Amino acid sequence: MTTSVPKPDVFTAERGVATEIARWLGHLGAERRMSDKTVEAYERDVRQFLMFMAEHLGGPPKLTELAKLTPQDVRAFMAGRRTAGIGGRSLMRGLAGIRSFARFLERNNKGKVGALAAVRAPKLAKTLPKPLAVASAKRVADADERAGEAREQWVLDRDAAVFSLLYGAGLRISEALGLARGDVPAPGRGDAITVTGKGNKQRMVPLLPQVAQAIATYVAGCPYDLPAGGPLFVGARGGPLSPRIIQLAMERLRGALGLPDSATPHALRHSFATHLLSRGGDLRAIQELLGHASLSTTQIYTAVDTERLLEVYRSTHPRA
């Protein structure tokens, strides 16, 4: 029988465990250079685990009790999360946070939670990124495609500039919206930008002339002052641009261009990688451009490219 997970507001970690959690979170932020959001997610995952174990064991577990957990205890936690409707991907990510805390305890001689290593992570159904066709990706980044909308021209130019960065430079939406005005050179005055990605890691990304021109068009028409140290992209009232605004713009374009629901801002980044690979791009170079820490993350695009080749074969070969 599984144990239900108590609400977060009724749980208080045992003092020794709470102290180690605080030290671990500091380690993640200062030494591992994880983003604030990642640290918050890891903390939430560990607290959910400890909340479950508090009810499962009859009280907040101490460090010595964590070391005595069995694989059955961990499986009970996983079953409880499944019952709460948590999917395999979220559960796997949650286990990653919990195991990170367990490794921290072991390295600091606070006990080894061997049960976590003994339990396999849930299997995930393999899903491939869904890039847009080349022609569709180009149209998304064209402000003229939304010329009929009742919006100011500078707003349409702004959205087109963001989409140009996602497709033309392979940026994440957070990376594009995190750019400062001074990060992007004017057309003809530079051919690269420095992007700050996950974990505050920086990388150099080529700036295509078409992308630079799209940004320059937006900047020229923007009614707000854009100081070098301020955000490059601003909202209708002059504040930092919200990712949700770009997502909504993409939704409108999906309807106008007849694109599938999989056509999201992040799909433009997938399209960038897939189109480079299909034209002979080097996988290691694409890894660097995307800012992937591991080549295995980039290798998924080889499967995408193979699948697209098979689709062409099935639809055109006489014997298919």
The residue among 76, 26, 289 whose CA lies nearest residue 165 is 289
Catalytic site includes residue 42: no
Q: What values do phi and psi take at 166, rounded to 5?
A: -65, -45
Whole-angstrom distance, CA of residue 216 vs CA of residue 211: 9
Strand partners, 206: 192
Collapsing DSSP states into helix, strand and coil, what is residue 195?
strand
Catalytic site includes residue 266: yes
Catalytic site includes residue 275: no
| Residue among 75, 82, 266, 308 flagged as catalytic | 266
Strand 202-206 to 192-196 pairing:
antiparallel
Please say whether the dihedral angle defined by the alpha carbons of residues 238, 196, 291 and 37, taken in this order, is positive or negative: negative
| Residue among 56, 158, 269, 270 flagged as catalytic | 269
Whole-angstrom distance, CA of residue 21 vs CA of residue 15: 10
| Residue among 139, 198, 203, 252 flagged as catalytic | 198
| Residue among 172, 181, 270, 275 flagged as catalytic | 172
Contacts with 287 (C-beta within 8 Å, 6 or more apart), sequence order: 295, 297, 298
Contacts with 29 (C-beta within 8 Å, 6 or more apart), sequence order: 36, 39
Catalytic site includes residue 198: yes
Catalytic site includes residue 292: yes
Contact 94, 87 (CB under 8 A): no
Collapsing DSSP states into helix, strand and coil, what is residue 183?
helix
Angstrom distances, CA of residue 94 to CA of 12, 115, 218, 267, 314: 19, 15, 41, 25, 40
| Residue among 42, 167, 218, 301 flagged as catalytic | 301
Q: Catalytic site residues?
A: 172, 198, 266, 269, 292, 301
